[in-house]
């Protein structure tokens, strides 16, 4: 009887030694880091939805109304000038929409190196500056701040610079 008990105990120990050790679960993969938010101090501080004629800052995706003019301007997109050839320093192509009252909106392409104005229903619109300067390799379009000047045709703003 003792032999049977010892044999049963030995089989029990042998059976216990054959079970695999518990496997630790691998930790879940870390969550992807959030993309850093670009900072545009001038455009973030300028959250107005109404601006007077003259110079004002406009962030990508922002729309403003020009006070007393029933004129709306929005900065819709920025990309590389499609005329740019590979390996060259390229200028930015800003897409702006301008609308006066019930008239159809007009789409304008303004280039970051251009100094000329576009004209729409008696108004002129020009790009005073783009900050930071356009970079073909810039990962975040939203980092750009367009400083625009809007005036009536034949009218010069004293604060255009």
CATH of the domain at 145: 2.60.98
In the numeric block, which tokens belong to residue 139? 């990962």
Give how many domains the chain has, as a whole number: 1
In a domain, residue 33? The reply is no
Q: Find the Cα–Cα–Cα–Cα dihedral 80, 83, 85, 87, rounded to 10°.
A: -30
Residue 148: pLDDT band (50, 70, 90) is very high
In the numeric block, which tokens belong to residue 68? 């007393």
DSSP string, 75-143: EEEEEE-TTPPTTS---EEEEEEEEETTSPPEEEEEETT---EEEETTEEEEEEEEESPP-TT-S-GGG
Name the residue range of residue 144's domain.
Answer: 41-152
In a domain, residue 30? The reply is no
Report the pLDDT value the prediction gives residue 134, as an integer from 0 to 100.
74
Q: What is the pLDDT of residues 106-121, one digit of tens each?
A: 999 998 787 789 999 9
Q: Which of 141, 149, 80, 158 is nearest to 118 (CA)?
A: 149
Q: What is the pLDDT of residues 8-35, one digit of tens each?
A: 666 556 565 555 666 667 777 776 655 5
Look up residue 19 and give its DSSP letter: S
Q: Which residue has the higher pLDDT, 104 or 155?
A: 104
d(CA 41, CA 63): 17
Report the pLDDT value the prediction gives residue 63, as an integer from 0 to 100.
92
Q: Which residue has the higher pLDDT, 82 or 125?
A: 125
In a domain, residue 160? The reply is no
d(CA 90, CA 34): 29
d(CA 133, CA 131): 5
Interval 130-157 mean pLDDT: 75
Residue 153: pLDDT band (50, 70, 90) is confident
Q: Which residue has the higher pLDDT, 29 or 54?
A: 54
**For a pLDDT cut of 70, what percent of the chain falls above it?**
61
Report whether pLDDT(97) > 70.
yes
Residue 75: pLDDT band (50, 70, 90) is very high
Report whether pLDDT(96) > 90.
yes
Report whether pLDDT(98) > 80.
yes
In a domain, residue 5? The reply is no
């Amino acid at each position: 009887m003792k032999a049977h008990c010892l044999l049963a105990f030995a089989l029990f120990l042998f059976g216990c030694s054959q079970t695999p050790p518990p496997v630790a679960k691998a930790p879940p993969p870390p969550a992807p880091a959030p993309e850093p938010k670009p900072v545009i101090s001038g455009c973030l501080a300028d959250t107005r939805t109404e601006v007077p004629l003259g110079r004002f800052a406009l962030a990508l995706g922002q729309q403003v109304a020009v006070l007393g003019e029933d004129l709306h301007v929005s900065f819709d997109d920025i990309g590389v000038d499609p005329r740019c050839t590979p390996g060259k320093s390229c200028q930015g192509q800003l897409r702006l929409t301008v609308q006066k009252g019930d008239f159809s909106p007009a789409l304008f392409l303004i280039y970051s190196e251009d100094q000329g104005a576009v004209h729409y229903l008696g108004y002129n619109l020009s790009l005073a500056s783009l900050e930071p300067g356009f970079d073909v390799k810039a990962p975040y379009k939203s980092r750009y701040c367009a400083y625009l000047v809007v005036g009536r045709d034949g009218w010069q703003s004293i604060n255009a610079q």
